[in-house]
Structure 1
Amino acid sequence: MNDKKITEAILAVTVGMLIIHFLFDVTILSKFALGVGLIGLFIKPFAKWIAWSWYKLSEALGYVNSRILLSLVFFLALVPIALISRLFTKGDLQLKRKKDSYYSDRNHKYAPKDFENVW
């Protein structure tokens, strides 16, 4: 991890703590933000550890949130759409075996124009 990434992580943690401090009036977070900022400036091994912890936390949150969000989209959006579609459309795929043959006659006279731009 390079110094720029470490500095960005320390800045993100510090600013995040300050925002929470100002929004919810948690005074201890301003002191923690000052401590994290000073550690990030002057003690590089601790700064590297804080940055590593921050990136691992964000990786874990991304893993969990992506599963939760994708599950919600699937169950709240795609499943109802599929059920409604199944209720109101006829079986165009002909998945149920009703006939001996699935061949369907098409009464169409082919013209030379039908063979232009086939694909």
Structure 2
Amino acid sequence: MAYGAAGTAADSNRPVIFMTRTDTLKTLNVLALAALVFYMFFQKPWLLYLCAFFLAVALTDNPLARLTAGAWMKLAGIIGNINSRILLGLVFYLLLTPLAFFYRIFNRNALRHFTADTRDTLFDDITEAASSKESFEKTW
């Protein structure tokens, strides 16, 4: 799959999904399989019709196949963006924040090095011996 800009001025700021025939076939076959699996669980006849529709559309390389697969990929991209933000937020607030909180409570001595140094700068002057030509010849 390749992402590129659309050809019209109205859609110039939205990405368009260009799918190869193989990508379209893969997407439609996975959708047909998903409809079949859901039919096995829920026993709804319209899921069989949906499976047959996806397989029939996948038989030929037609605009309906590309439109169906492209629409599914756009929906999957939107869902992926939402899920990633939700999951990262949950990881941050439910895992990292309590971990940092408990670390600060139980390891107060480990954090004192941040305030123990009263110098204006953390820069240390390098001695002449450390910056001589011989010190760079055999670094290992």
TM-score by length of 2: 0.65
Work out the CA distance in 2 between the residues paired with 1:58 and 1:32.
18
Match of 2:97 in 1: 79
1:94 equivalent in structure 2: 114
Whether contact under 8 Å (1:40, 1:46) holds in the other structure is: no
Structure number with higher strand proportion:
2
Q: Residues 22-74 of structure 1: CA distance to partner in whole angstroms, max 9, x if unpaired?
A: 11212211111101210221361100001101111111111011111111111
- The residue type equivalent to 1:46 in the other structure is L
1:34 maps to 52
Tell me the amino acid that sits aligned with residue 94 of structure 1: F
Determine if the alignment matches structure 1 residue 48 to structure 2 residue 53.
no
Structure 1 unaligned residues grouped into runs of 5+:
104-117
Rounded Cα–Cα distance in structure 1 between residues aligned with 2:75 and 2:30: 13
- Matched to 1:23, the amino acid is F
Aligned mates of 1:43, 1:28 — CA distance in 2: 24
Task: Please give the per-residue CA displacement for 1:66-109, whole angstroms capped at 9, x wherever unaligned.
Answer: 111111111110010011011112232334xxx8x626xxxxxx
Residue 12 of structure 1 deviates from its aligned partner by 1.0
The number of residues matched between the two structures is: 101
Letter in 1 for 2:113: L
Which structure is richer in relative contact order (CA contacts within 8 A, separation 6 or more)? Answer: 1
Unaligned runs of 5+ in 2: 1-18, 120-138
Confirm or deny: 8 A CA contact 2:39 2:45 kept in the other structure: yes
- CA–CA distance in structure 2, aligned partners of residues 14 and 40 of structure 1: 10
| Bigger fraction of residues in helix | 1
Q: Which letter maps to 1:72?
A: L
> In structure 2, what residue type is equivalent to 1:68?
I
Partner of 2:131: none
The percentage of aligned residue pairs carrying the same residue is 28
Name the aligned partner's letter for residue 13 of structure 1.
Answer: L
The equivalent of 2:7 in structure 1 is none
